Structure 1
Amino acid sequence: MEKFGKSQSVTRVEDLRFLTGHGGYVDDVAPEGALYAYVMRSPVAHATITTLDTQDAEQADGVRLVLTGDGMQAAGITASIWGVTIKNRDGSDAASPYRPVLATGKLRYVGEPVVMIVAETLDQARDAAELIELDYDELPAKMDLARGGAAVHDDVPDNLAFDWDMGDEAACQAAFDRAAKVVRMEVGDNRVIVNAMEPRGCYAEWDGTRLHVCFNGQGVWGPKTHFANVLKLEPENVRVTMPDVGGGFGMKSPAYPEYYACAHAAMLLGLPVRWMSDRTEAMLSDHHGRDLVSEAALAFDETNKIIGYRVDTRCNLGAYNSNFGQIIQTTLFSRVLMGTYDVQATYLRAEGYYTNTVYVDAYRGAGRPEAIYVLERMMDMAARELGVDPWELRRRNFIPVASFPYKAATGETYDVGDFSRVLNHADSFADRSGFAARKQASAAQGKLRGIGLCYYIESILGDPSEGAKVEFNEDGTVTIYVGTQSNGQGHETVYAKFLSDQTGIPFDLIQVVQGDSDRIAQGGGTGGSRSVTVQTNATLATVAKMVQAFTPYLAEKMGVDADQISFDDETFRAPGSNLTPTFVEAAAMARADGRTDLLTHEDRATLPARSFPNGAHVAEVEVDPETGKTDLVRYTVVDDFGNLINPMLAEGQVHGGIAQGAGQALLEQTVYDEDGQLLTATFMDYAMPRAADMPFFRFETEPVPSTANPMGMKGCGEAGTVGAMAATTNAVLDALWDSGVRHVDMPLTPSRVWGYLQDVSQTG
C-alpha cells in the first residue's frame, strides 16, 4: 500500500464536532424564520377516501398553507414518484402503479402522507391537523405474500408486482435429477426498520427562479433529477444539498414524498419551509428492509460437491415501488447467489407482491445479505444432513484459487479470492479447537452453547465512475470536492488523508466538500459499499492531472526540461536543480505569477470492474433453556478487504454492520397486525441492539488485493451485515440442536427460542 496509501489507523477528524454537539445536521442548518411543516398520515392500512375537508385547518392560527394530493395534482404536480422497474421472466414489464406525493383516492398503508400543513410554528401545524376531517370506507388489508386478496392497486392483477428469474432452469433441474443427495429448507428473512440515529428531515427554499432542497440523504444528483421531474423544473433550476447526515444505510437514499411537498410549499409561499420527522413517524414512513421468504435447495454428488442450487423467493414490496425495491431481491440478490462456491447450475426465481404496508427498499447490503443468509443457512443444514463438518463442506466447495478470475453463473466475474486461506485464519483466530471446552463450561452453568459460521462474499454496487476536484485556495488551504456523501463513515478523514498521501499536502490543510449539486457537477452518491473505492480512484486520476499540469510550469522555474521532473508523492525534483517544491509551494508560486489555471484541477475515472470483499464470521452464543434468552458471547471476523487505507475505520464499519446483522437475528422484527396496523412503532415495542447485547468483536484481515482497481481495495461498508445474520442464526441452531430443535427463524427472541425448546420437549 505504500504507493496508494499508508494503511494507517488515523482517528476521524470529524468526530470532534459530532461528539461535542457541533454537527450541522439538517434540523440545525434550516434557515432562520423558516415555516414548519407537519404531515397528517393515514390511520388505516387500506381504505377509499370519501371526505377530506381541510377548510377549518386552513383558517387556524398561524397556518400559511394546507396541501392535499388533489390540490397538488390540480397545481400540475402529477408525476409518479420514481421507482426502478424490471422485466418479468416472460419479457413483459413489471408493475409500475402510480405513486402520488400525497394520497389521492385511496389510503394504502398506515403512515402514508395525506395532508401537509405549513404554519409559523410546529405546534400550530400540529393543532391544525386535528381540525382536518378525513372520512373513508375501510377495505380489507392485503398482508400475505401470495397471489390474490384485496387489490392494493386496481391496475395490478393479483397484487403481483413481478415474476422474475435468472439462470438455466432446465440445467439446474438436470443437476437435481442426477444428485446423490438433495437438501431443502424454507428460510424466512424478517422485516426490519432501519432506525438511523438521525430521523429524516428537509427544508426547501425558492427565490422565484431556482429551488434549493436540503435533506439528509446519500447523494444529491439522483434526487436533483427527480425534483426537477416531479416539480416540472429545468434541472439547472434545482439545487440539492446535504449537510451532516446521522446514518443512512440505504434508507436515506431516495427523495421521499415529504421533500417534494415541502419544495412545492416553498414555491407557492416564496418562503423557506422545513420538516423533521419524529421517531414514531419515521418508523411508520421510512422505507423498511428485508421481508422475504425463500425456498432453497442444494444438490450434491457422491463426494459432497454441490452440483446445483435453486432458490424460489417471495418478497414484500409494501404498498408501492420504492426507489430500488424491485431490484433488491432480484438482480442484487443474484449478484452473490452462489456465494464463494464453484457451482454453475443455478436458478433463482423471485416473485414480488404489493401489500398494505410501508414500502421496502435497500437496507445495509441491499440483496446481498439476503442471498448470503439463505445460502449459508443452507450450507449448515446440508452439513448436518450429510454428516460432515460444516467448515470442511465449505472448503470442499470453494472456488479454487487457480480458477480466478471466475465467472459465476449469474454473470458476475470475481477477480481474485483465496477463501480457504481466509477460513483457515478464522479457524485459528476464533479458537475453534477450544470450543468444546467452552461448551462444557457453559453446560456446567446450565447454558446451551453453539457456534455458527458464515462465509460471505458481496458485490460492490453503484456507479463505477466518480469525479474529484482539487482547488488551491488563497489562504494556503486546499479543498477536495467529492461525489460521494458521508452518512457517518469518516469520509472527511479518509479522503483528506488519501489526498495528503498522494500529494504531500499537509492533512490539516485539506478540507473535504460534498453534497452540493451546485459546487460539484456530477457524482454517484453513497451506497453499495462503493464510496472509498470509486472516490480514491477518481482522486488518483485528479492527482495525475495535477502533476501533469504543474510539470511544464515548474520546469521553467527549475531550469530543466519537463521530462526530467519527477514527483515523489511529496515534492517535485529534477537532477541539477536545487528547487524541490511541494504542491502547496508550487500553487503559491503559480498564484503569484497569475497562473490561475494551475489552481483548480478535476478529473473523472471509472473502475474497470467491481471488487468482491469476502470473509468468515464466527459467532458463539449461550442460550438459557429456562427462559430462551440468547446471549452473543463471542464474535470473530476475518475479512478479505484487499488493501486498506485506514484499518481503524474499516474495523468500525465491520462493528456497525455486525450489530445490525446480529440485531436482526436476535432482536428486531417489524410486526403488523392483520389489519395492517404497525405494532412496533416505538422503541418500547421494537427491540434495537444495545451495547450490552454485543460482545467485544475480534477482527483481523487476510488481504487478497483486488485487481479491479489500482489500489487493490475492496469495499467494506456493508460486509459486517452480510456475514452476521447467518453466523448468528447458525450459532443459535447449533446451541439448540442437541435438544432436538431442527429449524429456527429470525428473530431469535427469548420467547421464540423458548417456544422452540418447548415444542421439541412436548413432541419428543
Structure 2
Amino acid sequence: MDIAGLALKVGRNTKMMIKGCRQMEKFGKSQPVKRVEDVRFLTGEGRYVDDIAPTDALHAYFFRSPVAHGVITTLDVTDAVEAEGVHAVLTIEDLEAAGMDISMAATVLQNRDGTEGAKPLRPMLAKGRVRFVGEPVAVVIAETLNQARDAAELIAFDVDDLPTHMTLERGGETLHPEAPDNMAFDWGMGDEAATQKAFDAAAKTVSLNVGDNRIIVNAMEPRGCYAEWNDGKVHLANNGQGVWVHKGNLKRVFGLDDDHVQVTNPDTGGGFGMKAAAYPEYFSVAQAARALGRPVRWMSDRTEAMLSDNGGRDLTSLAEFAFDENNKITAYRVRTKCNLGAYNSQFGQPIQALLFSKVLMGVYDVQTTWLQVEGYYTNTVQTDAYRGAGRPEAIYVLERLMDRAARELGVDPWELRRINFIKPEQFPYTSATGEHYDVGEFNRLLTRVAVEADHDGFAARKAADAAKGLLRGQGLCYYIESILGDPAEGAKVEFNEDGTVFIYVGTQSNGQGHETVYAQFLSDQTGIPAELIHVIQGDSDLIKQGGGTGGSRSVTTQSTATLATVAKMTEAFTAFLSDEMGVPAAQISFDDERFRADGSNMTPTMLEVAEMARQKGRDDLLVHHERATLPGRSYPNGAHVSEVVIDPETGVVTVDRYTVVDDFGNLINPMLAEGQVHGGVVQGIGQAIQEHVVYDEDGQLLTASFMDYAIPRAADVPFVSFNSEPVPSTANLMGMKGCGEAGTVGALAAVSNAVQDALWERGVRQADMPFTPHKVWALLNDSAIAAE
C-alpha cells in the first residue's frame, strides 16, 4: 500500500480512533489502555487480504493430491484449460519453464557427526511424486472461484500408490533418497558422557515417556494472498507475520532485484507462527499473475487450511532425571523424536532442537544435560512454529517429569521445585545450554500463586467432589521462555502537515494490539496525543528492513527502537530550538511533554517544534529514524496452577480453576498482556483437552473439519486469574519481558499435571494429551480392570 492508500485508511478510521483513544490523551506508564483497532474490527471496517484484492483479479484454486504417497502417472489438464472462464492451469513444468527457482526455502541442522541434515527438494507444485494428502499439484486460474473449482474437477490425475510412512521410527518406504530410513537429522547438545556419569552415580533416577500431540493452528482468518505485476515489479499481499522473509524468497524465486519486489501485509486475523513461513501457493499465484498480465487472488477454505497449513507440535520424548540423596537434580537427559511431515518446512528442523534447547532446563539449577533430537519424514503435512515454537514443547516435557519425580520420590511437587530453583543470588545465570538469564525470583512467584490459587483449600475442594463421585486434580507448571527473533529493529517517526504523526514499525500485528501499544508508548515518551499517532506496518516499500512478529519479540524490540528514535529526535529538536529560544542546547531539557530552558518563556511540545521546523523549511526535522539492538534477551517466567474435575462415568474433563502469576517485568499495557495470557492459556487448554490431529494408516486426514477437530469454546474455559509479579529485566531499557507466547508455554503441563493428579488415585500412571472423554474413560476402565 502506498502513502496515498495509507492516508485514505487513516482518514477512514480517524473518527473511530478519536472516540476509542480519547482516554489515551493522559496516561502514564503501564496503563491498561483499550485497544483502538478493535473499534475498526468490530464495526466491519477491517481491511483483510480478501477485502482489498483488486476487483479485476482472477481467482486461483489449487488441485491437491487426494493420496498421501505415490508416483504421478497421469496429470492431464487439457479439459480443465478448456473449461468455461479458465485462463490457465499451471503445473510444476510450467513454473520450471518460466525460469523460476521451484524450491521452497528451509533451514537445516547439523547432525551430531558433523554432516548436514537432509535437505530434499520441496517443489512448489508436486514434481513426479506426491507425499501428503493436500500437497498442491496444479493451480487453476479462472474468472470466478466457482469456475476454477469446477475446472479442477476435470483434471485427470492418477498415481501408482506407494506405502505410507506414518511413524517416528527408522525404516519403511523412503520418502526422499536424501534421507535413508526417513531420518532427516540426528542432532545433539550437551555433554553425553558427563550426563551418563551423573546417572551412574545418582542416588535415584526417574524417567517418563511424554507424548506431545499434533495440532492444527486454525487461525481465525485462513491463509490468503493476491499478486500483481507492474513494469516488471511484483506486489504480493498476504496475511502474514512480516513482509521481509517473503520479499527475500520472491527475489530468489524470480531472480529479481530489491526494487522489483514489494510485499504487504494488511489486517491479519491470527498467525501464531503458522503464518510466518513462506508457502508454495504464494509463488504459484505470483507466477500466474505474471504469465497472464492480470492480478490473481487466492483464499484458502477451512478444510484446505487443515490439509495444507503447517501443523504444530507432534513429538515424543523420553525424559530422565538423576537425583542426589537430597532430591537435588544432578543431571537431565532428553531423547526426542519429532515429526517434520513430508518435507522440511522453513523453520521445522530448528524448532524441536535449537528452540527446544533454549529452555531445556527451565528454571532449575542443573548444569549437566544431554538433549538428542531425531527428526523424521512422514506422509503428513509439514510441521513448524506454533505459539511458543519449541519452548512449550521443552517445558511440557520438563514439568511433566517434575511431577512424576515428586511422586516417585515421595516429595511435594511444589517443594521439589523450590529445592531445585535457581536462586536470586545466582543471577545473572548461564544455563547448561548457554542462555544468559538476567534476573529471576522464582520462589517469590511460586509463593504468590499458592495464595492466588488457594492451594491450601484444594484438599477441601477435592473431598467435596469425591463425595459426588467426581475426581479433582491440581496441576502446577513453572515455566520460563526466551524471546526469539532478530534482536535489532527500527522505527521511523514522521510529522505530517495535518498534525498527525506516522510511526513506521518493523513488526506485524496479527491481532495482538500493536496499533494501541505502539501509539501509547510513543505518546508516553513524547507527549504527542495518541489519537494523532498512526502505526504504519507491513509494507516492504515503506519499511525497508524489519524482523516481523514472532518469538514474543515485537513490543520489546519495537519499543527499544522507538526509544532510540525519540532520543535522536529530541537531540535534533534541541539543536533547532537552541537558536529559536536563544539559549545553549545544553540548557534545554525535554520532560516527555515539553521542551524547557531556564531563561526562556517558550515551552513547546514536540508537535509545536515540528510545526516551527516546517515553517522554517527544515523538512529534515520532520522525519526521524533509528535502529536499535537489544543488549540481551529477556526471559518471561511464571507459575500456572490448574484444577480439573473428571466425571469417571463419562470421562469428561472440566478445567474448573486456572491461576497464573507471571513475571513479565514492567508492563507497558497490562490489559494487553493479560489478553495475551488468556489467549495463550486457551490454546494450551485446547491442545490438552480436545485438539488432536488424526491420520489413518493411509495418510488420510480424518480431522479435516470442525465436525471432527474440536477447538475450545467459551464453555470449555474457566475464568483465568492473571496476576503480575514483575522482576524488571536488565536486558532492555524498559525492563520488560515478552508475553505473547507465555500462556501456552505454561498451560500444557499445568492442565496435564492436573489430569494426571486426578487419575493417579485410580491407578492411572501414564496419561498423555489430549484428554478427550473417550481416552480418559478408557484409561479409568483399563486401570480398574488391571486392578482386579
Q: Please, what TM-score do these two structures have when normalized by structure 2?
A: 0.96
2:645 aligned counterpart, secondary structure? strand
Structure 2 counterpart of 1:658 = 681
Q: Which amino acid aligns with 2:471?
A: L
2:375 aligned counterpart, secondary structure? strand
Structure 2 counterpart of 1:755 = 778
Give CA-to-partner distance per residue, 1:114-169, whole Å, 9 cap, x none.
Answer: 01000000011011101110011011011010111111112221111000000000
Distance in 1 (alpha carbons) for counterparts of 2:610 and 2:45:
32
Distance in 1 (alpha carbons) for counterparts of 2:250 and 2:626:
27
Give CA-to-partner distance per residue, 1:314-371, whole Å, 9 cap, x none.
Answer: 0000011101000011000000000000000000000000011000000000000000
Distance in 2 (alpha carbons) for counterparts of 1:380 and 1:580:
61
Q: 1:567 aligns with which of 560, 565, 590?
A: 590
Shift of 1:444: 2.1
Q: Which amino acid aligns with 1:714?
A: K
Structure 1 counterpart of 2:440 = 417
Q: Is the Cα–Cα contact under 8 Å of residues 208 and 267 in structure 1 kept in the other structure?
A: no
Matching of residue 693 in structure 1 with residue 711 in structure 2? no
Matching of residue 25 in structure 1 with residue 48 in structure 2? yes
Q: Which amino acid aligns with 1:159?
A: N
Q: Is the Cα–Cα contact under 8 Å of residues 373 and 725 in structure 1 kept in the other structure?
A: yes
Q: 2:651 aligns with which of 617, 620, 628?
A: 628
Shift of 1:80: 1.2
Q: 1:211 aligns with which of 211, 214, 234?
A: 234
Q: 2:431 aligns with which of 397, 408, 413?
A: 408
Shift of 1:79: 3.7
Q: Which amino acid aligns with 1:250?
A: G
Structure 2 counterpart of 1:261 = 284
Distance in 1 (alpha carbons) for counterparts of 2:689 and 2:145:
38
Structure 2 counterpart of 1:70 = 93
Q: 2:146 aligns with which of 104, 118, 123?
A: 123
Q: Which amino acid aligns with 1:325?
A: G
Q: Which amino acid aligns with 2:346?
A: N
Q: 2:695 aligns with which of 645, 649, 672?
A: 672
1:111 aligned counterpart, secondary structure? coil
Distance in 2 (alpha carbons) for counterparts of 1:485 and 1:423:
34
Q: Which amino acid aligns with 1:632?
A: V
Q: Which amino acid aligns with 2:571?
A: Q
Once the two structures are superposed, the pairs formed by residues 544-559 of structure 1 within 5 Å of their partners are: 544-559=567-582
Distance in 2 (alpha carbons) for counterparts of 1:752 and 1:417:
38
Q: 1:179 to 1:5 in 2, by over 3 A?
A: farther
Matching of residue 509 in structure 1 with residue 532 in structure 2? yes
Give CA-to-partner distance per residue, 1:442-466, whole Å, 9 cap, x none.
Answer: 1122210000000000010000000
Give CA-to-partner distance per residue, 1:369-398, whole Å, 9 cap, x none.
Answer: 000000000000000000010000000000
Distance in 2 (alpha carbons) for counterparts of 1:100 and 1:235:
24
Distance in 1 (alpha carbons) for counterparts of 2:215 and 2:447:
33
Q: Which amino acid aligns with 1:667?
A: Q
Q: Which amino acid aligns with 2:545?
A: Q
Distance in 2 (alpha carbons) for counterparts of 1:437 and 1:468:
54
Once the two structures are superposed, the pairs formed by residues 3-14 of structure 1 within 5 Å of their partners are: 6-14=29-37
Q: Which amino acid aligns with 1:128?
A: A
Matching of residue 35 in structure 1 with residue 68 in structure 2? no
Matching of residue 735 in structure 1 with residue 735 in structure 2? no
1:381 aligned counterpart, secondary structure? helix
Distance in 2 (alpha carbons) for counterparts of 1:235 and 1:94:
30
Distance in 1 (alpha carbons) for counterparts of 2:84 and 2:568:
59
Distance in 1 (alpha carbons) for counterparts of 2:574 and 2:731:
29
Distance in 1 (alpha carbons) for counterparts of 2:437 and 2:179:
38
Q: Which amino acid aligns with 1:290?
A: R
Q: 2:521 aligns with which of 490, 498, 508?
A: 498
Q: 1:54 aligns with which of 77, 84, 107?
A: 77
Structure 2 counterpart of 1:585 = 608
Structure 1 counterpart of 2:627 = 604
1:644 aligned counterpart, secondary structure? coil
Q: Is the Cα–Cα contact under 8 Å of residues 5 and 645 in structure 1 kept in the other structure?
A: no
Q: Is the Cα–Cα contact under 8 Å of residues 337 and 373 in structure 2 kept in the other structure?
A: yes
Q: Which amino acid aligns with 2:655?
A: L
Which contiguous aligned blocks of 4+ residues in structure 1 show a shift greater than 6 angstroms?
none
Distance in 2 (alpha carbons) for counterparts of 1:704 and 1:541:
23
Structure 1 counterpart of 2:136 = 113
Q: Is the Cα–Cα contact under 8 Å of residues 101 and 252 in structure 2 kept in the other structure?
A: no
Distance in 1 (alpha carbons) for counterparts of 2:124 and 2:759:
48
Q: Is the Cα–Cα contact under 8 Å of residues 119 and 178 in structure 2 kept in the other structure?
A: no
1:637 aligned counterpart, secondary structure? strand
Q: 2:706 aligns with which of 683, 688, 691?
A: 683
Distance in 2 (alpha carbons) for counterparts of 1:685 and 1:21:
30
Distance in 2 (alpha carbons) for counterparts of 1:5 and 1:643:
13
Distance in 1 (alpha carbons) for counterparts of 2:101 and 2:736:
44
> Between the two proteins, what is the percent identity of the paired residues?
69
Give CA-to-partner distance per residue, 1:207-234, whole Å, 9 cap, x none.
Answer: 1310000000000011100011112222
Shift of 1:299: 0.5
2:154 aligned counterpart, secondary structure? coil
Matching of residue 186 in structure 1 with residue 193 in structure 2? no
Distance in 2 (alpha carbons) for counterparts of 1:447 and 1:602:
61
Q: 2:557 aligns with which of 529, 534, 559?
A: 534
Shift of 1:254: 1.2
Matching of residue 176 in structure 1 with residue 163 in structure 2? no
Distance in 1 (alpha carbons) for counterparts of 2:204 and 2:178:
44
1:495 aligned counterpart, secondary structure? helix
Q: Which amino acid aligns with 1:687?
A: A
Once the two structures are superposed, the pairs formed by residues 88-237 of structure 1 within 5 Å of their partners are: 88-237=111-260
Give CA-to-partner distance per residue, 1:243-296, whole Å, 9 cap, x none.
Answer: 000000000001211100000011111110000000000000000000000001
Structure 2 counterpart of 1:390 = 413
Shift of 1:500: 0.1
Q: Is the Cα–Cα contact under 8 Å of residues 5 and 502 in structure 1 kept in the other structure?
A: no
Distance in 2 (alpha carbons) for counterparts of 1:437 and 1:537:
48
Matching of residue 321 in structure 1 with residue 344 in structure 2? yes
Structure 2 counterpart of 1:358 = 381
Structure 2 counterpart of 1:337 = 360
Distance in 1 (alpha carbons) for counterparts of 2:445 and 2:225:
44
Give CA-to-partner distance per residue, 1:49-97, whole Å, 9 cap, x none.
Answer: 0010001111111111111012211222234110111100110000000
Distance in 2 (alpha carbons) for counterparts of 1:376 and 1:196:
28
2:490 aligned counterpart, secondary structure? strand
Matching of residue 292 in structure 1 with residue 315 in structure 2? yes
Q: Which amino acid aligns with 2:214?
A: R
Matching of residue 379 in structure 1 with residue 402 in structure 2? yes
Q: Is the Cα–Cα contact under 8 Å of residues 82 and 323 in structure 1 kept in the other structure?
A: yes
Structure 2 counterpart of 1:720 = 743
Q: Please, what TM-score do these two structures have when normalized by structure 1?
A: 0.99
1:147 aligned counterpart, secondary structure? coil
Distance in 1 (alpha carbons) for counterparts of 2:259 and 2:632:
32
Give CA-to-partner distance per residue, 1:14-62, whole Å, 9 cap, x none.
Answer: 0011111111011001011110000000000001000100011111111
Shift of 1:5: 6.0
Q: Which amino acid aligns with 1:281?
A: E
Q: Is the Cα–Cα contact under 8 Å of residues 83 and 324 in structure 1 kept in the other structure?
A: yes
Structure 2 residue runs of 5 or longer lacking an equivalent are: 1-26
Once the two structures are superposed, the pairs formed by residues 468-479 of structure 1 within 5 Å of their partners are: 468-479=491-502
Q: Which amino acid aligns with 1:698?
A: S
Structure 1 residue runs of 5 or longer lacking an equivalent are: none
Q: 2:665 aligns with which of 638, 642, 650?
A: 642
Q: Is the Cα–Cα contact under 8 Å of residues 78 and 100 in structure 1 kept in the other structure?
A: no
1:148 aligned counterpart, secondary structure? coil
1:734 aligned counterpart, secondary structure? helix
Q: Is the Cα–Cα contact under 8 Å of residues 95 and 102 in structure 2 kept in the other structure?
A: no
Q: Which amino acid aligns with 1:48?
A: V
Q: Is the Cα–Cα contact under 8 Å of residues 69 and 131 in structure 2 kept in the other structure?
A: yes
Q: Which amino acid aligns with 1:256?
A: Y
Q: Is the Cα–Cα contact under 8 Å of residues 166 and 378 in structure 2 kept in the other structure?
A: yes
